[in-house]
Amino acid sequence: MISTFHKSGFYILLIAFAFILLSFCPNYISTADAIEISSLECIKCHEKVYLEAINYTYQHSILKEACTHCHVRVKPQGETYSTMNFSTFQKEQIVHLDDIDPEQVYQAEVMVTDERGTRCLPKRVKTDIDDPSERNSQYTDIKTISNVTIDEVKKGGFVRAVLSWNTNAYSTSEVVYWSDKGRKSKFRSGRIFSKKHSVILPGLRHRTQYKFQVVSKDFSGNMIESDEYTLDTSKNIAKSDNSKYKPPTITHLTAFTIKGQPGVFLKVFANKAAELSVKLIEIKDRDTKHGFGLLDPIVTMIDTCTKCHPRGTSHPVGVKATGRKIRTPDELPTIDDGIITCVTCHSPHGGDNAFFARFDRNKDICILCHIGGY
């Protein structure tokens, strides 16, 4: 009795100290980041549950590590709003997400893919994070086009050509091209803006001379055209690159807005010229207590458990307690009117019985459901 009293008293003092610490350090949990939520913050509202748990004979090892592991959704969850792929190979680019709902917050998942088809690991940014330094530095009127170059003419079933040019301001990439016997064709980058432009023209005819112009348009709609140039597909122009191969990576990702322009702009820098893809996912607002919301019961009572404990090693879970000789137990917790979970038989925080069993696991707990034997 004395040891139990001392044990309880020690933990009460520990919790009291935690409360004092939190009261003097209101920013203990970073509201800007807020991915990790401390167990100390949980104890402030759930003191009774915590005191009961730490006085069990057997304690779950994860109890004092992070309540969020089992209870709180720490990553945004929502439906994919749209996926966009952009067929320009550029190292530095800005994508305009102009058709998103201004009242909805999205997570933008961004990836780049190089000419070999190798993708980078995705990076993510929320669309409501506005970087004013980016906004002020990008809003420049276009005035010049320079260094229009034919980087590659590659022959195959069809011919493809890679064209590049520079502009003084971030602007779209457009190529108008035509042969003596054909109509004018256009390539447009759409909502991608860059200063160093690189465009692939596929499906060109063999041994044909094309005329082309490059066109760029800035954020305000100001447009500038280059002179006419000649592209001869009878010539083979190969890219010269003696550098050691490096897989693509995103080196910079920020979001910003421009006054008078709808939607959000994403600035994406990569370590090499690459195609860009953006997936938008609708997310819910997060608070400092419960992240992006509490996990669903089936997750906390089954899926979270099976991350560490192999499924199927004990009683089946995810099934209803129904049958001729089976009843739904009032003494044990179930979900959805009778679905058995790990927590039905085991107390998740710990317990006074081995394996955190709610009752004697050799007999008593079984007959609460199996009323007519097995």
**CATH value at residue 136:** 2.60.40.10
Distance CA 83, CA 31 (A): 29
For the chain, what is the total number of helices (H) and then of strands (E)? 7, 15
Task: pLDDT band for 191, please (50, 70, 90 cuts).
Answer: confident
Residues 243 and 358 in one domain: no
pLDDT in tens, 20-59: 443 433 333 333 333 455 667 777 788 888 888 888 888 8
Residues 22 and 145 in one domain: no
Residues 145 and 230 in one domain: yes
Residues 241 and 348 in one domain: no
Nearest Cα to 89, choosing from 310, 223, 270, 293? 270
Average pLDDT for 232-242? 83
Which residue type sits at 67?
C
Q: CB burial class (10 A; 0-12, 13-18, 19+) of residue 121? A: exposed
Residues 216 and 274 in one domain: yes
- Long-range pairs for 241-247: beta carbons < 8 A, 24 or more residues apart: 245/116, 246/271, 246/272, 247/114, 247/118, 247/120
Q: Which residues pair with 241 in a beta bridge?
A: none
Q: Which residues pair with 159 in a beta bridge?
A: 155, 204
Number of domains in the chain: 3
Residues 68 and 85 in one domain: no
Distance CA 122, CA 248 (A): 11
pLDDT of residue 34: 36
Question: Which alpha helices (DSSP H) does 218-334 contain, by range?
Answer: 297-298
Residues 71 and 82 in one domain: no
DSSP three-state, residue 7: helix
219: DSSP letter: T
Q: CA dist 227 to 138, 212, 280, 363, Å?
A: 26, 8, 38, 89
Provide φ and ψ at 63, rounded to 5°.
-55, -45
Distance CA 266, CA 248 (A): 18
- Select the highest-mean-pLDDT range: 4-8, 132-136, 208-212: 208-212
pLDDT of residue 321: 76
Range of the domain at 16: 1-75+288-294
DSSP three-state, residue 237: strand
Does 257 have pLDDT greater than 50? Answer: yes
pLDDT of residue 25: 39
Residues 215 and 304 in one domain: no
pLDDT of residue 37: 58
Residues 212 and 258 in one domain: yes
Which residue type sits at 250?
I
Does 249 have pLDDT greater than 80? Answer: yes
Residues 183 and 93 in one domain: yes
Distance CA 307, CA 309 (A): 6
Q: CB burial class (10 A; 0-12, 13-18, 19+) of residue 75? A: exposed
Better-scored residue on pLDDT, 5 or 179 = 179
DSSP three-state, residue 264: strand
Residues 138 and 160 in one domain: yes
pTM for this entry: 0.55
Average pLDDT for 215-233? 93
pLDDT in tens, 151-184: 999 887 789 999 999 999 999 999 999 998 778 9
Task: Kindly state the tokens that stand for 271.
Answer: 């370590």
Of 294, 323, 346, which residue is a domain's last? Answer: 294
Of 261, 294, 327, which residue is a domain's last? Answer: 294
Residues 102 and 251 in one domain: yes
Task: Kindly state the tokens that stand for 212.
Answer: 């082309």
Task: pLDDT band for 85, please (50, 70, 90 cuts).
Answer: confident
Of 283, 313, 347, which residue is a domain's last? Answer: 283
Distance CA 258, CA 326 (A): 64
Tell the residue number behind the tokens 């820098």, with chain if given.
269
Provide φ and ψ at 359, rounded to 5°.
-135, 180
pLDDT in tens, 305-362: 877 777 666 788 888 877 778 888 888 888 887 888 888 888 888 888 888 888 887 7
